[in-house]
A and B are shown apart, each in its own frame.
Chain A
Amino acid sequence: MTASATAVAPNPLREGLRLARAPRPTTLVLFGGSGDLARRKLLPALYNLALQRLLPAAFAVVSAARRPMSDEEFRDEVHDAVAQHSRTRPINEDVWSTFAQHLRFVATPDDAGYDRLAGELQRVDAEVGADGNRLFYLATPPAAYAPIIRAIGAHGLRGPGSSRVVVEKPFGHDLRSATELSRIVHEVFREDEVFRIDHYLGKETVQNVLVLRFANGIFEPIWNRQYVDHVQITVAETLGIEERAEYYDAAGAMRDIVQNHLLQLLALVAMEPPAAFDDRAVRDEKVKVLRALRPIGPEEAPAHTARGQYGPGYIEGRAVAGYRSEAGIAPASGTETFVALKCFVDNWRWEGIPFYLRTGKRLPKRSTEIAVRFRVAPHRIFTREAEGVEANELVLRIQPDEGISLTFGAKVPVQGFRIRSVNMDFVYGASFMVDAPDAYETLIVDAMRGDATLFTRRDEVEQQWAFVDPILAAWARGEPPLGTYPAGSWGPDEADALVRRDGRVWRKA
């Protein structure tokens, strides 16, 4: 937590309100305001926060970009973005009009531009009353991160209040570049001022993994190698690469999904109970899991990894092109669009228990879930009657239809004995009939409050890359070879072989 010293007494009216710790007055300094991310996610999230009265009374957005435009043009652009992408529509023009007054634009093509930005920030502080608190938001392509960070330092853009920086993924493309990026960021910001966004962590159901595990007494005692047979984590997408050909072809599924989202989910499932729900304790425990991941080097890669690329096929009855025929992709591209891994967490709790991870594009169904498969009952007294009954499985569905389900065997109500697997299903949306807050809204409020619990710390990122890099190196030498799968299937045969070797199968997610 940032201890930006202040002599001002706490606000006595805050107590008992929805946000016990409200976001402090802030100027959000946005880089990349015309980009896809800002238009689709960030700006609509800010507007929706205004709608819910969750923005501080003193709040402004100053957008900085190379291409010049007027405040008015910027406001029109934001209005378009919000109108198109907001989760609440139509736009509430009454709220919009006062929100828009606090949107500014400064062109920063050169050093003089950054000096103008510094001047504008001071003016906004004085006008709006943002107390010199600044949240720098890097929504640009990663190549621009370093020059922007250095310009923030060189032109004295840090305010007299708190200064924080939000960095979007990717955080580097390997361990070396990630370390280098952190080094540059640290020239200007302390680590506790850096907020690396992995928007998966802002999702309600991802946070619910922590609640399920640590607010309930009944799961933790069986959450270990004594009772768990294995764990499967799936991030399946039906989408192809859409407009992101250039980025995706350089990154691949490993850097796009595994390094961040999948390893985060793994860490949340496998971590030890933190001593407190705060940024330090939670992230300490996650890092310990990542450190305990058994490395997959060139020797292990053929048996512990599978990769694939989609060919032409069908998604929901519609014919779709193969990866190499997508616009902007080289016809001989060797980029993987599917990854399956078999990982082990080498610690007391998980020794010998495999964690199977998989992700892919153009899979038959959009689904993100964590499935914990328990061991079968040690002594089976219902051998004949229980044929076809599967072991207990606890499934945490992240999207869509967020919820939790548990399968167990039950007696079919007839004379004599027949046992069938039934499903006890908790559907998040049905129990709490409210719209869950959008992940970006949650994360922006947290960043303004200075709560980094749901953000990725430097050592987490570095551990993630340290795990992923050797696998990528093995792949670069062709081990194992790149498989192919038709769009609309559950991935290449190699992925099935990976679990079949252990006598297991992938879930039909």
Chain B
Amino acid sequence: MHFRKLIFRRIIEVLAIFFLILSGLFLLFHLSPGDPVSRMVQPGMSAEDASMLISQLGLDQPLWLQYLYYVKNFFTGNFGISFHYGQPVIHIIGRRLPNTILLFTTSVVLSAAAGVLWGKIVAWYKGRAIDTWVTILALVCHTLFLPWIALLFIWIFAYHVGWFPLNGMITPELWIDPTTGFLAKAADIGHHMLLPLLTLFIIHVGSYLLIMRSSMLETLKEDYILTARAKGLSEKRVRNRHAAPNAYLPVVTSIGLSLAFSINGGALTETVFSWPGIGRELIFAVSNNDYPLALACFLFISLVVLVANVIVDVLYAYLDPRIRY
């Protein structure tokens, strides 16, 4: 009962936050300088033609009316039409968002799993050489500059060694061939995904490892660990059953937070690897003042982050019964 109530309360909170984001974004966009039409007009286009373009895009309405339309449109699933692509924003997002989710969910899951596993182990061997070296390595990974390491990997593994494709999500030559089957296409996407995944993994695994390590060290000081040992349980059992589950909690929190960060780092990753995701679209949209598209990108990204946070909270409540009461 308490559990359900908690979930309900979190959802209400998240909805309120989302509405604040919705309104805040609208204001920010309309207060920022520059107008979208200035990018589309060319020398020779008369001022009348330009103002015609503005009114056709609905930009001549008063601000409060634009806001009401915006809220109404959002709740009816109408995100407007991108100024630049001339297509409904929802189509563009619909095509790009799955690509982003595919890449980033996989990378978060993999790096969190590896981070937890390795963090647990190095904490167990605290003070030995393995602990020192892995901790140093994790710190190095954590502080690497993403675009630099991405370009370096492309240069080494894709260009010189040739194990991976240079960029993109698919091999055009393969996809235009009508005889290519579904499996080959899936394999092609997987092949393109490996290098960005490796980059993201290296960037993220360090922080999970360090969090898990310090949390594990805290847990190992607890009395119940001593009790478990006193009972004569094997070291492995003490580590995996008694210590680790209690050490997971901070990692779960950090997954929720890192989803937000992985999306902003995602824009860089997607640009360097030409990965057709929503982060890259966001950069184009912002630099071209494509309000509807940029707004929708921001909204969807915040939605993903909020939903992830709810899931993390629920997971947390499940892992730690104290939260529930």
A binds B: no
